[in-house]
Amino acid sequence: MSAVGHAPGKVILVGEHAVVYGRPAIAVPVWDTVATATIEECPAGSGCVIIAHDIDAQVELLHAETDNPLALVVRLTLEKLNLEPNPAWRIEVSSDIPIASGMGSGAAVSAAIVRAIYQRAGADASPDDVSRVVYASEEIHHGTPSGIDNTVVSYGRPVWFKLGEAPEVFETGQPFMLAIADSGVPSPTRETVAGVRNRRERDEAAYLSWFDEIGEIAHRARAAIEKGRMQQLGELFNRNQELLEQIGVSTQLLQRLIRAANRAGASGAKLSGGGGGGNVIALVTAETAKPVADGFRAAGARNVIVTTVGSD
């Protein structure tokens, strides 16, 4: 019998980068894009092979390098569940989450694999169990991730995240819509995080106050989401974007996309994730979703996803 696991894409609503320095941030899952992992039994003794169609990878668990993220996820999960180290399995992963766009495709693939293995073992995977393994794979890609990406794809719900504290899942006062534009430029998170670190060392006082204000925005954004105050949330997106520009992670292309969204009627827009490329998110309504998506495309977006947050 085959086992299957799923995990969603994600976007960060507010607080990226400052979250690395202990300020709170909010991330939401994007269930319109998912990663799926399935496990099929193979003839005894054939060992475990992981096949990732989207990145054209085929990994034999026994021979994989220690820093292969797919193999690492499988090994850690097998260990955690006290399963044999090289089971006769074919693990296939596929995902329609855009790769390297800041939507957490790597983290979601890892989370889907962990869930499939737990299902195959007949065990319940708590979000924390999944998140811990996914964090280890994120370390390979990003160096020193804050942990927000693995948390949101593992919980699959809006999360309030602060380093060193247990993540909080929270409810939206009313569902809201986001248009997510892929700039088509990969988001080099490792580099943008390192860039912020270097600039901060040269100008600590300024970065401290920008991070503090971003943290304040996260608090106000959570209250706005819980109370269904969308106009306010849009204004907070715009202010957060100004601060992301100050800390040097925005680009001309991202700003062009943001201006296009706001001109087309978005309540607010900002880059989401590491910046330098990746995604822009715009807060939209049923009426403004299409004009904003069209505006994004006309301004150069490679792909646009419209999603509803908090609708389940």
Q: Which is nearer to ligand MEV, 135 or 296 (CB)?
A: 135
CB of 52 vs ligand MEV, minimal distance in Å: 21
Least separation, in Å, of the C-beta of 210 and ligand MEV? 14
Among 127, 145, 158, 234, binds ligand MEV (CB under 6 A): 145
**Nearest distance, CB of residue 148 and ligand MEV, angstroms:** 5
With respect to ligand MEV, which residue has the nearer C-beta, 192 or 288? Answer: 192
Q: How far is the CB of 160 from ligand MEV (least distance, A)?
A: 14
Backbone angles phi, psi at 65, to 5 degrees: -60, 155
Question: Which strand ranges, in their side-by-side order, compose the sheet holding 279-284?
Answer: 268-272, 279-284, 176-182, 303-309
Q: What's the min distance (Å) between Cβ of 12 and ligand MEV?
A: 6
Residue closer to ligand MEV, measured from CB, 142 or 290: 142
CB 14 within 8 A of CB 40: no
Which residues in the 83-112 window bind ligand MEV by CB under 6 A? Answer: 102
Segment 9-68, which members bind ligand MEV (CB under 6 A)? Answer: 12, 16-17, 19-20
Compare residues 116 and 133 and give the one whose CB is closer to ligand MEV.
133
Distance (Å, whole) CA 182 – CA 296: 9
What is the Cα–Cα distance from 261 to 179, expressed in whole angstroms?
A: 9
Query: Token digits for 287?
Result: 């009426």
In angstroms, the CA 199 to CA 186 distance is 22
Partnered with residue 12 across adjacent β-strands are: 27
Site for ligand MEV in 274-303 (CB under 6 A): 274
Q: Which is nearer to ligand MEV, 85 or 143 (CB)?
A: 143
The count of residues interacting with ligand MEV (CB under 6 A) is: 15
Least separation in angstroms between CB 256 and ligand MEV: 21
CB of residue 50 to ligand MEV, shortest distance in Å:
24
Query: Does the footprint of ligand MEV cover residue 148 (CB under 6 A)?
Result: yes
Angle at 230 between CA 226 and CA 234, to 5 degrees: 120
* Residue (19 or 112) nearer to ligand MEV, CB: 19
Q: Are 6 and 34 in contact (CB under 8 A)?
A: yes
Q: How far apart are CA 265 and CA 285, in angstroms?
A: 9
In three-state form (DSSP H/G/I as H, E/B as E, the rest C), the secondary structure along 67-118 is CCHHHHHHHHHHHHCCCCCCCCEEEEEEECCCCCCCCCHHHHHHHHHHHHHH
Q: Could you say which residues in the range 256-275 bind ligand MEV, by CB under 6 A?
A: 273-274
Which residue in the block uniquely carries the two structure tokens 């040269």?
A: 202
Q: Which residues bind ligand MEV (CB under 6 A)?
A: 12, 16-17, 19-20, 102, 142, 145-146, 148-149, 189, 193, 273-274
